Structure 1
Amino acid sequence: MEGASTMANDVRLAVFASGHGTNFAAILDAIQTQSLSCQIVRLVVDKANAGALAIAEAHNIPTLVVNYKAAGSRDVVEQEIITQLKDDGVQGILLAGYMRIITPKLLQAFPQKIVNIHPALLPSFPGTHGIEDAFNYGVKVTGVTVHFVDEGTDTGQIIDQQAVRITNDDTLASLETKIHDVEHHLYPAVLAQLLKEEVFN
């Protein structure tokens, strides 16, 4: 990783993303500025135009672009991912805006070592539109959840949460900004705690 020293005993992690990669960038920044005892050794994306790819390139992080449509099944894609991650010596996975359901195949390869961030206070508002669903429902408090991934949709064990208050003058856009700001602080903090607890070892 550019500008960061890596130690032989650093935990080796992969990040999965589908979009701009802002949480990916926040994680990389935290690793560097807080000297976290881990390194990101692979970025996996499911879109060839994902913004996260440029972030990986800037940090000299190898990437894997998977194509679910061309592969024909999630099993085929996940076997490709597992083979690559095992070759990389990956010990854990951080999902950072990866808009795909993880199957038991990948879960069994990395049991209780796959972490996700969700833009709502689970178990409320699971799924792909957590911010919008909470805003449209009219709740006054929503937030961000970091959790382990299981076979359900956003049903895994909750690791940590942070609340975000929705004010009367909030718009969907302003709420999205507030949620993303919290994500960029909460995810690195949870990662630091998981490393301290040696969850990925």
Structure 2
Amino acid sequence: MNSKEFLNELKKYSNDLLVSMSFDQIFKEELLKLYPRKIINCHAGKLPFYRDRNILNWALINDEKEFGISVHFIDKGINTGDIILQKTYEIKDSDDYTTLLNLCHKECASLLYESLILFLEDNVKAYKQKRKKKGGG
């Protein structure tokens, strides 16, 4: 993704938006400069509280009553960009990692779709993340 070859290939196209979901690489500055505020990510965590990896595990370990899914702009930090959409979901006593993961797959797709509609309608009202207040994941 961050290779010169890939970046050169991207430059051949007129991309309005790049979308990331469950991607295992950090976007480097050269890519971010090519598409300022045009790269979004769906993160299975309530930002800014759960920015790292294995968020669903941490939500269960921390005995959270809910978890969040966030669509945000990608910036040079890790899951620190302005939030476009965020929704929370109840964690039931019967939930485990698998049930939450299945819900995330479904809901990330829905939130990304909603975000794309906002972009098409030129109606994105992203907001800055506040400081992280609690730990875990």
Give the SS at the match of 1:88: coil
Q: Residue in 1 aligned with 2:17?
A: 92
Instruction: Measure how far apart 1:127 and its partner are.
Output: 2.0
Q: Which runs of 5+ in 2 are unaligned?
A: 125-137
CA gap 1:198/1:84 in 2 versus in 1, 3 angstroms: farther
SS at the partner of 2:113?
A: helix
Equivalent position of 1:82 in the other structure: 7
Find the counterpart in structure 2 of residue 136 from structure 1.
61
Deviation at 1:81, TM superposition (A): 2.1
* Residue in 1 that maps onto 2:135: none
* Identity value in percent: 27
Question: Which residue is 1:193 aligned to?
Answer: 118
Q: In the TM superposition, what is the alpha-carbon distance from 1:120 to its structure 2 partner?
A: 1.1
Q: Given the alignment, which residue of 66, 70, 73 partners 1:145?
A: 70
Deviation at 1:102, TM superposition (A): 0.7
CA RMSD of aligned residues (A): 1.6
Counterpart amino acid of 2:78?
T
Larger radius of gyration between Structure 1 and Structure 2: 1
- Return the offset for 1:154: 0.2
Q: Name the structure, 1 or 2, with higher relative contact order (CA <8 Å, separation 6+).
A: 2
Query: What is the count of residue pairs matched by the alignment?
Result: 124
Q: Determine the C-alpha separation between the residues in 1 that align with 2:119 and 2:14.
A: 18
The corresponding residue for 2:128 is none
CA distance in 1, matches of 2:99, 2:7: 38
1:115 paired to 2:40: yes
Measured against aligned partners, the alpha-carbon deviations of 1:19-77 in whole angstroms (never above 9, x if no partner) come to: xxxxxxxxxxxxxxxxxxxxxxxxxxxxxxxxxxxxxxxxxxxxxxx6xxxxxxx5xx1
Structure 1 CA distance for aligned equivalents of residues 29 and 91 of structure 2: 36
Shift of 1:198: 7.3
For 2:108, the equivalent position in structure 1 comes to 183
CA distance in 1, matches of 2:57, 2:29: 28
More helix, by proportion: 1
TM-score, scaled relative to structure 1: 0.58
Q: Distance in 2 between matches of 1:198 and 1:86?
A: 26
